[in-house]
A = this chain, B = another copy of it.
Amino acid sequence: TIMEAIEVHLNRGLTEKFLTGKKILISAGPTKESVDPVRYFTNHSSGKMGFALAAEASRLGAEVILVSGPVTLKTPDGVTRIDVETANQMYEEVVSRYNDQDVVIKAAAVADYRPISVYEEKMKKKQDGLTIEMERTKDILEELGRRKNSQYLVGFAAETINHLEYGRKKLEAKNLDAIVVNNIKTEGAGFGSDTNIVTFISRQGAEKEIHLAEKTEIARQLYQMIWTEIRDEQQ
């Protein structure tokens, strides 16, 4: 509506565009790992958190690249979107652009495993069971942590138990600057939801919970925390 447009315009005026001049790459959504031309493995990621992060970064003035798995969401205004299907494609598109970025946020739920054999024709069903042998996909976040020079690197962890403990370990293990963790079994923090409840944990020692809020609001608060840390490091 016109009222909404005016409100967006006013909010833009009020919000300092503190990410102006910064290059941010965000990954979002699930990946699809084929078994055959019909069947595939995937996960419940809707891409909403990653798309909210991309939209908010663009509003805050950043130059945003969004590398997205298969989702049904509209590309946010001003954002360059690159669509991928598989973990391998996600790896290529993210890693090849890594050196140019100031901030990289890996919000995608990339498949950890994929079937070793992908059949060219649809498998015929048989009376008995079926065993699918899976292999690890390349660990994108680990690779980004290894190659990191000046980028501020943010990971996500969606867990069902011990999410804070797991998040702290992942922050160290993957050489991240920060990790955003949530328990997907908590009401309002699950996949597909328009809201989230997260904890921001950083290498510099922050551990801040962001209470139940719309994903766009979560994104705004995350950028404030990230930006505070980048400024502090530069001083």
Name A residues whose Cβ lies closer than 8 Å to a Cβ of B: 35, 37-44, 72, 109, 111-113, 116, 120-122, 125, 127-136, 158-161, 184-185, 191
Contacts and interface: CB of A to CB of B under 8 A. Distances in A.
B125 A136 contact: yes
Given A42-B40, A43-B40, A125-B136, A130 B113 contact: yes
A160 B40 contact: no
Contacts of A38: 43-44, 109, 158, 160, 184, 191
Chain copies in complex: 2
Nearest to A39: B43
Contacts of A136: 125, 127-129
11 contacts: A38-B43, A38-B184, A39-B41, A40-B41, A40-B44, A41-B41, A42-B42, A121-B161, A122-B160, A129-B134, A131-B132
A130 B125 contact: no
